[in-house]
Amino acid sequence: MGDESAAKTIRALLIESRDSRASPAAVLARCAPDRQETGTRFDVLVANDLDEGLRLLDRGHVVDVILFVVDASEPRGPAAWVRLRKAVAHLPIIVLAETSDKEQAEAAIRQGIQDWLPRGALTESMLASAVRHAIERFRIDLELRARIRRLERARARTHRQAAELRARAKELDATNRELDDFVYVASHDLKEPLRGIKAYCELFVEDYQDRLDTIGVNRLRTVAGMCGRLERQISDLLTYYRVGRMPSPPAPVDLMEVVDGQVAAFRPLLDRRGASVRVKGPLPCVLGHPLMLGLIVGNLISNGLKYNRSERPKVEIGAVVDQPATIYVRDNGIGIAPEHHEAVFGLFRRLHGPKEFEGTGAGLTIVRKIVQSYKGRIWLESEPGRGTTFFVF
């Protein structure tokens, strides 16, 4: 005989029929505390009919399972267990039937009954095993239903969020189109009068130079120069705005071809300045857009040639030996003090006046924005008088 403390007590509500010809009470009695071969005890609460059983539950009696006796001669049949199932959705129900009617058993299980046991062959081990399994199946079923409800709520939230995101994306797309139109119109409308002012200043100097003194001529030329610089700034702003808005996804690009194209574009300036651009070793293929990568390389070459007082300006481009995805652009220019290494990337931030070095101060800003749009990084190493090396990863 097993240890009494090891036996599990199951609280059962037995709903019998008053005129049931084969009550299972005797079987349950054999599973009472003094009989523990099954390892299961039953603490049985008996009701003589369905209404009495529901009243007992309403009064606060706590049970783990309901055993519902059904006789074939009774008219209540399926309607009764359907009523019981609706009234106690939180408890497992086992029907103890007079017969093993397969069709009726399958119908009962479809309607939420945990098991259908014919009373004729019922033993204490069968009953104990059926009750334990019914309770466990019902517990798992409740957990699954709870998880399904949580998943359905999560799916509903996801659908709402997806709908909100689609609506916001649509609004953003419309806003971007409006912004594109505005930028184009604004840049065109701003550039047009600047070109007119510049042209009139140049014509005025040309036609009235003999009537103006040197100061007047210089001032008109200064106005024309300022108009030209402002026009270039507007163009740089437009370029800065368009960075990262390429319509096609990145694709493999041979950096050697990009560099060769940029060197060819700079050839007149290189010849005029006696300058050179040297490519050291092979350059990698990277994911990107030829136009954007060309802007990176072109701006860094221009930077190395522009801020350079050497009689023979030199620019060297190569890949870092132990980091093939990182390229460098090195020059022999004037260099940059360490405290200005971050400032040079600011939009229209210039460390020198326009009379000393021409330009708008937007080139490095555009370069960094392009690099960041590809989830990359750009940094530099430089000291005054010792040139500058830009690294792009």
- Quote the radius of gyration of the chain (alpha carbons, Å): 44
* Domain span including residue 354: 249-392
Note whether residue 48 is domain-resident.
yes
Q: Are strands 388-392 and 285-288 parallel, antiparallel or unpaired?
A: unpaired
Q: What local confidence, expressed as pLDDT, does residue 392 receive?
A: 92
Two structure tokens written together for 322: 């132990």
Note whether residue 90 is domain-resident.
yes
Burial (CB count within 10 angstroms: exposed 0-12, middle 13-18, buried 19+), residue 301: buried
* CA neighbor of 68 nearest in space, from 102, 352, 78: 78
pLDDT class of 155 with cuts at 50, 70, 90: very high
Higher pLDDT, 307 or 41: 307
Note whether residue 76 is domain-resident.
yes
Note whether residue 20 is domain-resident.
yes
Q: What is the pTM of this model?
A: 0.49
Segment 298-320, tens digit of pLDDT: 889 998 998 898 999 999 999 98
Higher pLDDT, 289 or 358: 289
Is-contact 254 285, C-beta < 8 A?
yes
Q: What local confidence, expressed as pLDDT, does residue 373 receive?
A: 85
Residue 350 has pLDDT above 80, yes or no: no
Note whether residue 133 is domain-resident.
no
CATH code where residue 117 lies: 3.40.50.2300
Q: What local confidence, expressed as pLDDT, does residue 314 receive?
A: 94
In sign, the C-alpha dihedral spanning 97, 100, 103, 107 is positive
Q: What local confidence, expressed as pLDDT, does residue 55 receive?
A: 92
Average pLDDT over residues 284-307: 88
The four Cα atoms 361, 362, 364, 366 give a dihedral, to 10 degrees, of 180
* Structural domain ending residue among the three candidates 65, 89, 122: 122
Q: What is the helix (H) or strand (E) element at residue 52, kind and residue range?
A: helix 50-58
Q: What local confidence, expressed as pLDDT, does residue 244 receive?
A: 61
Note whether residue 178 is domain-resident.
no
Average pLDDT over residues 201-208: 86
Residue 34 has pLDDT above 60, yes or no: no
Residue 156 has pLDDT above 70, yes or no: yes
Average pLDDT over residues 44-58: 89
Two structure tokens written together for 380: 């530099």
Two structure tokens written together for 9: 């007590």
Q: Are strands 378-382 and 251-254 parallel, antiparallel or unpaired?
A: unpaired
Average pLDDT over residues 282-293: 87
Q: What local confidence, expressed as pLDDT, does residue 292 receive?
A: 83
Mean model confidence pLDDT for the chain: 82
Question: What percentage of the chain reaches a pLDDT higher than 90?
Answer: 24
Note whether residue 315 is domain-resident.
yes
* Structural domain ending residue among the three candidates 66, 99, 122: 122
Higher pLDDT, 30 or 78: 78
Note whether residue 148 is domain-resident.
no
Is-contact 88 67, C-beta < 8 A?
no
Residue 176 has pLDDT above 80, yes or no: no
Q: What local confidence, expressed as pLDDT, does residue 44 receive?
A: 86
Query: What's the number of domains the chain is made of?
Result: 2
Q: What local confidence, expressed as pLDDT, does residue 1 receive?
A: 41
* CA neighbor of 222 nearest in space, from 252, 202, 237, 243: 202
Residue 32 has pLDDT above 70, yes or no: no
Residue 22 has pLDDT above 50, yes or no: no
* Structural domain ending residue among the three candidates 122, 149, 181: 122
Residue 237 has pLDDT above 60, yes or no: yes
CATH code where residue 345 lies: 3.30.565.10
- Where b means 16+ CB within 10 Å and e means fewer, 112-141 reads bbbbbbbbeebebeebbebbbebbeebeee
